[in-house]
Amino acid sequence: MTETRQDIELRLQLRRKAFTLDVALSLPAQGVTVVFGPSGSGKSTLLRAIAGLEPAARGRVRIGAAVWQDGDKYLPPHRRAVGVVFQHAALLPHLSVHENLRYGWRRSGAAAGAVPEWIDKLALGTLLARSPATLSGGERQRVALARALVCRPRWLLLDEPLSALDVERRSEILPYLETIRQQADIPMLYVTHAVEEAARLADHLVLLEAGKVFVAGPALEVLNRPDLPWALRDDAAAVLEATVAAHDGHGMLLLDTPAGSLHVHGAAHPTGTIVRLRVQARDVSVAMSAHADTSVLNIIPAVLESLSPLPNGQLQLRLRAGEALLLARVSHQSAVRLQLREGLPLWAQIKAVALLV
Protein backbone atom coordinates (compact mmCIF):
# COMPACT_ATOMS: atom_id res chain seq x y z
CA MET A 1 0.00 0.00 0.00
CA THR A 2 1.43 3.40 -1.02
CA GLU A 3 1.71 5.98 1.74
CA THR A 4 0.04 9.35 1.24
CA ARG A 5 2.60 12.08 0.60
CA GLN A 6 2.75 14.54 3.45
CA ASP A 7 4.76 17.39 1.95
CA ILE A 8 3.75 20.51 0.04
CA GLU A 9 5.20 21.40 -3.36
CA LEU A 10 5.06 24.89 -4.83
CA ARG A 11 6.43 25.97 -8.18
CA LEU A 12 4.80 29.25 -9.13
CA GLN A 13 5.58 32.03 -11.57
CA LEU A 14 3.65 35.24 -12.08
CA ARG A 15 4.93 38.03 -14.31
CA ARG A 16 3.75 41.61 -14.11
CA LYS A 17 5.16 44.80 -15.58
CA ALA A 18 7.29 45.79 -12.60
CA PHE A 19 7.42 42.53 -10.64
CA THR A 20 8.01 38.82 -11.16
CA LEU A 21 7.17 36.10 -8.66
CA ASP A 22 9.31 33.00 -9.23
CA VAL A 23 9.15 30.56 -6.33
CA ALA A 24 10.07 26.88 -5.97
CA LEU A 25 9.56 25.40 -2.51
CA SER A 26 9.09 22.09 -0.75
CA LEU A 27 7.37 22.64 2.61
CA PRO A 28 6.34 20.38 5.49
CA ALA A 29 2.61 19.59 5.51
CA GLN A 30 2.38 20.28 9.23
CA GLY A 31 3.14 23.15 11.56
CA VAL A 32 3.46 26.81 10.60
CA THR A 33 5.42 28.02 7.60
CA VAL A 34 6.04 31.74 7.94
CA VAL A 35 6.72 33.71 4.75
CA PHE A 36 8.71 36.74 5.80
CA GLY A 37 10.06 39.71 3.90
CA PRO A 38 9.78 43.44 3.27
CA SER A 39 6.84 45.12 1.58
CA GLY A 40 6.83 44.36 -2.13
CA SER A 41 8.76 41.10 -1.81
CA GLY A 42 5.81 39.01 -3.06
CA LYS A 43 4.52 37.50 0.19
CA SER A 44 0.83 38.25 -0.32
CA THR A 45 1.04 37.50 -4.05
CA LEU A 46 2.40 34.04 -3.23
CA LEU A 47 -0.43 33.40 -0.77
CA ARG A 48 -3.05 34.55 -3.26
CA ALA A 49 -1.55 32.32 -5.97
CA ILE A 50 -1.72 29.30 -3.64
CA ALA A 51 -5.36 30.08 -2.90
CA GLY A 52 -6.17 30.29 -6.62
CA LEU A 53 -6.84 34.03 -6.47
CA GLU A 54 -4.17 34.86 -9.08
CA PRO A 55 -5.37 33.03 -12.22
CA ALA A 56 -2.41 34.37 -14.23
CA ALA A 57 0.00 32.42 -11.99
CA ARG A 58 1.53 29.40 -13.69
CA GLY A 59 3.18 26.32 -12.21
CA ARG A 60 2.33 23.59 -9.73
CA VAL A 61 0.60 23.50 -6.34
CA ARG A 62 0.41 20.17 -4.54
CA ILE A 63 -0.46 19.45 -0.91
CA GLY A 64 0.08 15.83 0.00
CA ALA A 65 -1.36 13.73 -2.82
CA ALA A 66 -3.82 16.47 -3.92
CA VAL A 67 -2.70 18.47 -6.96
CA TRP A 68 -4.50 21.80 -7.19
CA GLN A 69 -2.62 23.20 -10.15
CA ASP A 70 -0.28 21.74 -12.75
CA GLY A 71 -0.12 22.54 -16.46
CA ASP A 72 -3.67 22.62 -17.79
CA LYS A 73 -5.12 21.56 -14.43
CA TYR A 74 -6.32 24.54 -12.40
CA LEU A 75 -8.72 24.16 -9.50
CA PRO A 76 -10.69 27.37 -8.83
CA PRO A 77 -10.45 28.91 -5.34
CA HIS A 78 -13.68 27.33 -4.03
CA ARG A 79 -12.33 23.83 -4.76
CA ARG A 80 -8.90 24.27 -3.14
CA ALA A 81 -9.95 23.45 0.43
CA VAL A 82 -8.12 26.43 1.92
CA GLY A 83 -9.14 28.73 4.71
CA VAL A 84 -7.93 32.28 4.14
CA VAL A 85 -7.69 35.08 6.71
CA PHE A 86 -6.68 38.53 5.44
CA GLN A 87 -5.53 41.69 7.23
CA HIS A 88 -9.13 42.81 7.57
CA ALA A 89 -11.62 40.25 8.79
CA ALA A 90 -14.19 40.83 5.98
CA LEU A 91 -17.07 39.45 8.04
CA LEU A 92 -20.56 39.66 6.59
CA PRO A 93 -21.90 42.82 8.28
CA HIS A 94 -25.60 41.85 8.17
CA LEU A 95 -25.01 38.57 10.04
CA SER A 96 -24.26 37.97 13.72
CA VAL A 97 -21.00 36.32 14.77
CA HIS A 98 -22.73 32.95 15.07
CA GLU A 99 -24.40 33.36 11.68
CA ASN A 100 -21.04 34.27 10.11
CA LEU A 101 -19.56 31.05 11.47
CA ARG A 102 -22.48 28.88 10.36
CA TYR A 103 -22.55 30.48 6.90
CA GLY A 104 -19.03 29.31 6.10
CA TRP A 105 -19.57 25.94 7.79
CA ARG A 106 -22.75 25.16 5.82
CA ARG A 107 -21.04 25.89 2.51
CA SER A 108 -18.09 23.62 3.35
CA GLY A 109 -20.00 20.52 4.41
CA ALA A 110 -17.70 20.09 7.44
CA ALA A 111 -18.68 17.98 10.48
CA ALA A 112 -21.27 19.41 12.85
CA GLY A 113 -18.84 19.59 15.76
CA ALA A 114 -16.51 22.04 14.02
CA VAL A 115 -18.50 25.15 14.96
CA PRO A 116 -18.76 24.59 18.76
CA GLU A 117 -15.16 23.32 18.82
CA TRP A 118 -13.68 26.57 17.53
CA ILE A 119 -16.17 28.75 19.40
CA ASP A 120 -14.72 27.18 22.54
CA LYS A 121 -11.03 27.23 21.54
CA LEU A 122 -11.13 30.85 20.40
CA ALA A 123 -13.32 31.99 23.33
CA LEU A 124 -16.16 33.34 21.19
CA GLY A 125 -19.09 32.21 23.35
CA THR A 126 -19.91 35.69 24.66
CA LEU A 127 -19.74 37.25 21.18
CA LEU A 128 -22.12 34.98 19.24
CA ALA A 129 -25.16 37.28 19.22
CA ARG A 130 -23.20 40.43 18.37
CA SER A 131 -22.84 42.02 14.95
CA PRO A 132 -19.36 42.55 13.44
CA ALA A 133 -19.72 46.32 13.74
CA THR A 134 -19.74 46.07 17.55
CA LEU A 135 -16.51 44.03 17.79
CA SER A 136 -12.98 45.25 18.42
CA GLY A 137 -10.33 44.59 15.78
CA GLY A 138 -8.94 41.70 17.78
CA GLU A 139 -12.39 40.15 18.24
CA ARG A 140 -13.10 40.43 14.52
CA GLN A 141 -9.89 38.60 13.70
CA ARG A 142 -10.72 35.81 16.16
CA VAL A 143 -14.09 35.40 14.42
CA ALA A 144 -12.36 35.40 11.03
CA LEU A 145 -9.98 32.68 12.24
CA ALA A 146 -12.87 30.59 13.55
CA ARG A 147 -14.84 31.07 10.32
CA ALA A 148 -11.88 29.69 8.34
CA LEU A 149 -11.33 26.79 10.74
CA VAL A 150 -14.92 25.54 11.03
CA CYS A 151 -14.73 24.66 7.34
CA ARG A 152 -12.02 22.06 8.17
CA PRO A 153 -9.66 23.37 5.45
CA ARG A 154 -6.77 21.33 4.13
CA TRP A 155 -4.50 24.37 4.50
CA LEU A 156 -4.90 27.62 6.47
CA LEU A 157 -3.47 30.73 4.81
CA LEU A 158 -3.05 33.91 6.87
CA ASP A 159 -2.08 37.17 5.16
CA GLU A 160 -0.64 39.53 7.80
CA PRO A 161 -3.62 38.96 10.12
CA LEU A 162 -2.20 41.20 12.87
CA SER A 163 -0.90 44.11 10.80
CA ALA A 164 -4.08 46.20 11.20
CA LEU A 165 -4.09 45.80 14.99
CA ASP A 166 -2.37 47.84 17.69
CA VAL A 167 0.27 46.31 19.97
CA GLU A 168 -2.24 45.40 22.69
CA ARG A 169 -4.58 43.63 20.25
CA ARG A 170 -1.66 41.77 18.65
CA SER A 171 -0.65 40.46 22.07
CA GLU A 172 -4.26 39.38 22.60
CA ILE A 173 -4.40 37.39 19.34
CA LEU A 174 -0.98 35.69 19.40
CA PRO A 175 -1.92 33.11 22.09
CA TYR A 176 -4.94 32.09 19.99
CA LEU A 177 -2.69 31.61 16.96
CA GLU A 178 -0.47 29.41 19.12
CA THR A 179 -3.56 27.41 20.13
CA ILE A 180 -4.37 26.85 16.46
CA ARG A 181 -0.78 25.84 15.79
CA GLN A 182 -0.87 23.27 18.59
CA GLN A 183 -4.40 21.90 18.22
CA ALA A 184 -5.72 22.35 14.68
CA ASP A 185 -3.56 19.70 12.98
CA ILE A 186 -3.75 21.83 9.82
CA PRO A 187 -0.67 23.18 8.04
CA MET A 188 -0.55 26.97 8.15
CA LEU A 189 1.13 29.45 5.84
CA TYR A 190 1.53 32.75 7.68
CA VAL A 191 2.60 35.91 5.85
CA THR A 192 4.19 38.70 7.89
CA HIS A 193 6.82 41.42 7.82
CA ALA A 194 7.12 41.38 11.65
CA VAL A 195 10.11 39.34 12.81
CA GLU A 196 8.65 38.97 16.32
CA GLU A 197 5.63 37.13 14.87
CA ALA A 198 7.92 34.88 12.83
CA ALA A 199 10.02 34.15 15.91
CA ARG A 200 7.02 33.18 17.98
CA LEU A 201 5.01 31.12 15.49
CA ALA A 202 7.25 29.69 12.77
CA ASP A 203 8.24 26.05 12.51
CA HIS A 204 9.58 26.62 9.00
CA LEU A 205 10.67 30.01 7.67
CA VAL A 206 10.83 31.34 4.11
CA LEU A 207 12.49 34.69 3.44
CA LEU A 208 11.34 36.30 0.18
CA GLU A 209 13.22 39.05 -1.58
CA ALA A 210 12.06 40.66 -4.86
CA GLY A 211 9.76 37.74 -5.65
CA LYS A 212 12.33 35.01 -5.10
CA VAL A 213 13.26 32.73 -2.20
CA PHE A 214 16.33 34.17 -0.48
CA VAL A 215 16.51 31.41 2.13
CA ALA A 216 14.20 28.73 3.55
CA GLY A 217 14.56 26.18 6.33
CA PRO A 218 13.72 25.24 9.92
CA ALA A 219 12.72 28.42 11.73
CA LEU A 220 15.26 28.44 14.56
CA GLU A 221 18.13 27.76 12.16
CA VAL A 222 17.11 30.59 9.83
CA LEU A 223 16.26 33.09 12.58
CA ASN A 224 19.65 32.61 14.24
CA ARG A 225 21.76 32.90 11.09
CA PRO A 226 24.15 35.86 11.47
CA ASP A 227 24.37 36.54 7.73
CA LEU A 228 20.71 37.45 7.23
CA PRO A 229 19.32 41.01 7.20
CA TRP A 230 17.66 40.99 10.64
CA ALA A 231 21.00 40.19 12.34
CA LEU A 232 22.11 43.79 11.80
CA ARG A 233 18.80 45.51 12.57
CA ASP A 234 18.20 47.50 15.71
CA ASP A 235 15.91 44.70 16.93
CA ALA A 236 18.41 41.90 16.16
CA ALA A 237 17.86 38.92 18.46
CA ALA A 238 18.58 35.29 19.16
CA VAL A 239 15.59 32.96 19.34
CA LEU A 240 15.63 30.08 21.83
CA GLU A 241 13.23 27.21 22.36
CA ALA A 242 12.70 26.78 26.10
CA THR A 243 10.79 24.69 28.62
CA VAL A 244 8.91 26.19 31.57
CA ALA A 245 10.54 24.87 34.76
CA ALA A 246 8.64 26.94 37.34
CA HIS A 247 6.61 30.11 37.93
CA ASP A 248 6.40 32.21 41.07
CA GLY A 249 2.87 33.68 41.00
CA HIS A 250 4.21 37.21 40.37
CA GLY A 251 4.51 37.00 36.62
CA MET A 252 7.99 35.47 36.65
CA LEU A 253 8.87 32.21 34.93
CA LEU A 254 12.00 30.10 35.18
CA LEU A 255 12.90 28.59 31.81
CA ASP A 256 15.29 25.82 30.89
CA THR A 257 17.00 27.00 27.69
CA PRO A 258 20.00 25.88 25.64
CA ALA A 259 21.82 28.90 27.12
CA GLY A 260 21.05 27.86 30.72
CA SER A 261 18.30 28.74 33.19
CA LEU A 262 16.70 32.13 32.55
CA HIS A 263 14.13 34.20 34.45
CA VAL A 264 11.53 35.86 32.21
CA HIS A 265 8.15 37.53 32.47
CA GLY A 266 5.02 35.93 31.08
CA ALA A 267 1.74 34.15 31.77
CA ALA A 268 1.82 31.27 34.26
CA HIS A 269 2.30 28.49 31.71
CA PRO A 270 2.15 24.97 33.18
CA THR A 271 5.47 23.34 33.98
CA GLY A 272 6.80 21.53 30.93
CA THR A 273 5.26 23.93 28.39
CA ILE A 274 7.50 24.58 25.38
CA VAL A 275 7.82 28.30 24.57
CA ARG A 276 9.86 30.51 22.26
CA LEU A 277 12.10 33.17 23.79
CA ARG A 278 13.44 36.07 21.74
CA VAL A 279 16.51 37.65 23.37
CA GLN A 280 17.25 41.00 21.75
CA ALA A 281 20.87 42.07 21.37
CA ARG A 282 20.14 45.49 22.88
CA ASP A 283 18.97 43.77 26.10
CA VAL A 284 22.22 41.84 26.59
CA SER A 285 25.29 43.35 28.24
CA VAL A 286 28.58 41.70 29.16
CA ALA A 287 30.83 41.69 32.22
CA MET A 288 34.16 40.15 33.07
CA SER A 289 32.85 38.68 36.35
CA ALA A 290 29.51 37.62 37.82
CA HIS A 291 28.17 40.17 40.31
CA ALA A 292 25.76 39.20 43.08
CA ASP A 293 24.97 42.81 44.07
CA THR A 294 22.82 43.61 41.04
CA SER A 295 19.15 43.59 40.13
CA VAL A 296 19.94 41.63 36.95
CA LEU A 297 18.67 38.07 37.48
CA ASN A 298 20.13 36.44 34.40
CA ILE A 299 23.93 36.25 34.52
CA ILE A 300 25.24 33.32 32.49
CA PRO A 301 28.74 32.26 31.42
CA ALA A 302 29.59 32.75 27.76
CA VAL A 303 32.48 32.90 25.30
CA LEU A 304 32.90 35.76 22.83
CA GLU A 305 32.97 34.21 19.35
CA SER A 306 33.10 37.32 17.18
CA LEU A 307 32.79 41.11 17.09
CA SER A 308 31.16 42.94 14.17
CA PRO A 309 31.21 46.73 13.68
CA LEU A 310 27.87 48.53 13.47
CA PRO A 311 27.02 52.15 12.65
CA ASN A 312 27.22 54.86 15.32
CA GLY A 313 30.28 53.49 17.11
CA GLN A 314 28.68 50.21 18.20
CA LEU A 315 29.76 46.59 18.01
CA GLN A 316 27.65 43.47 17.82
CA LEU A 317 28.98 40.54 19.85
CA ARG A 318 28.24 36.94 19.03
CA LEU A 319 28.31 34.91 22.24
CA ARG A 320 28.36 31.17 22.80
CA ALA A 321 26.33 30.45 25.95
CA GLY A 322 25.95 26.76 26.67
CA GLU A 323 24.49 25.25 23.50
CA ALA A 324 23.04 28.55 22.28
CA LEU A 325 24.25 31.61 20.46
CA LEU A 326 23.32 35.05 21.83
CA LEU A 327 23.85 38.54 20.45
CA ALA A 328 24.87 41.61 22.44
CA ARG A 329 25.29 45.29 21.53
CA VAL A 330 28.07 47.36 23.13
CA SER A 331 29.77 50.66 22.39
CA HIS A 332 33.23 50.81 20.87
CA GLN A 333 34.38 52.50 24.09
CA SER A 334 33.12 49.59 26.21
CA ALA A 335 34.86 47.09 23.95
CA VAL A 336 38.16 48.92 24.35
CA ARG A 337 37.78 49.32 28.12
CA LEU A 338 37.00 45.60 28.60
CA GLN A 339 39.62 44.56 26.01
CA LEU A 340 37.09 42.40 24.25
CA ARG A 341 38.51 39.86 21.79
CA GLU A 342 37.49 36.59 20.18
CA GLY A 343 37.69 33.58 22.49
CA LEU A 344 37.37 35.68 25.66
CA PRO A 345 35.31 34.07 28.47
CA LEU A 346 32.86 36.51 30.03
CA TRP A 347 29.38 36.79 31.52
CA ALA A 348 26.22 37.68 29.59
CA GLN A 349 23.75 39.78 31.59
CA ILE A 350 20.08 39.89 30.62
CA LYS A 351 17.39 41.73 32.56
CA ALA A 352 14.40 39.51 33.27
CA VAL A 353 11.98 42.38 32.68
CA ALA A 354 13.29 42.64 29.10
CA LEU A 355 12.25 39.06 28.30
CA LEU A 356 8.63 38.19 27.59
CA VAL A 357 6.95 34.92 26.55
For residue 192, how many other CB atoms are within 10 A of its CB? 21
Residue 86 has pLDDT above 50, yes or no: yes
Task: Specify the pairing of strand 324-331 against strand 314-321.
Answer: antiparallel
235 vs 334 pLDDT, higher one: 334
Supply the pLDDT for residue 3: 44
Domains of the chain by start residue, with CATH: 7-225 (3.40.50.300), 237-354 (2.40.50.100)
- Closest of 200, 193, 206 to residue 177, by C-alpha: 200
Q: What is the pLDDT of residues 287-313, one digit of tens each?
A: 999 988 889 999 999 999 999 888 888
* Alpha-carbon span 261 to 282, nearest angstrom: 20
Residue 2 has pLDDT above 60, yes or no: no
Alpha helices, DSSP H, located in the chain: 43-51, 97-108, 114-121, 137-149, 167-183, 195-201, 219-223, 332-338
Q: How confident is the model at residue 232 (pLDDT cuts 50, 70, 90)?
A: low
> According to DSSP H, which parts of 153-295 are helical?
167-183, 195-201, 219-223
Q: What's the pLDDT tens digit per position in 112-139?
A: 788 899 999 999 999 999 999 999 999 9
pLDDT attached to residue 18: 87
Q: What distances in angstroms separate CA 249 from CA 171, 174, 243, 255, 267, one per listed residue?
A: 20, 22, 17, 15, 9
Q: Which of 53, 52, 54, 51 is nearest to 20 (CA)?
A: 54
How many whole angstroms from its chain centre is CA 145?
16
Is 50 exceeded by the pLDDT of residue 241? yes
Mean pLDDT of the chain: 90
- Full-model pTM: 0.86
Helix 137-149 and helix 114-121: axis angle, to 10°?
150
Q: Check pLDDT > 80 for residue 97.
A: yes
pLDDT in tens, 244-267: 999 887 888 999 999 999 999 887
In angstroms, the CA 132 to CA 101 distance is 12
Question: Does an H or E element contain 261, and which?
Answer: strand 260-265
Query: Pairing relation of β-strands 314-321 and 274-280?
Result: unpaired
Question: In terms of Cα–Cα distance, which of 337, 338, 344, 297 is closest to 320?
Answer: 344
> pLDDT by residue (tens digit) across 37-75?
888 999 999 999 999 999 999 999 999 999 999 988 999
Residues contacting residue 134 through CB under 8 Å, at least 6 positions apart: none
pLDDT band for position 231 (cuts 50, 70, 90):
low
Is 90 exceeded by the pLDDT of residue 165?
Answer: no
The pLDDT tens digits of the residues spanning 178-198 come to: 888 888 889 999 999 888 899
Instruction: Classify burial at 141, counting beta carbons within 10 Å of its beta carbon; exposed 0-12, middle 13-18, buried 19 or more.
Output: buried
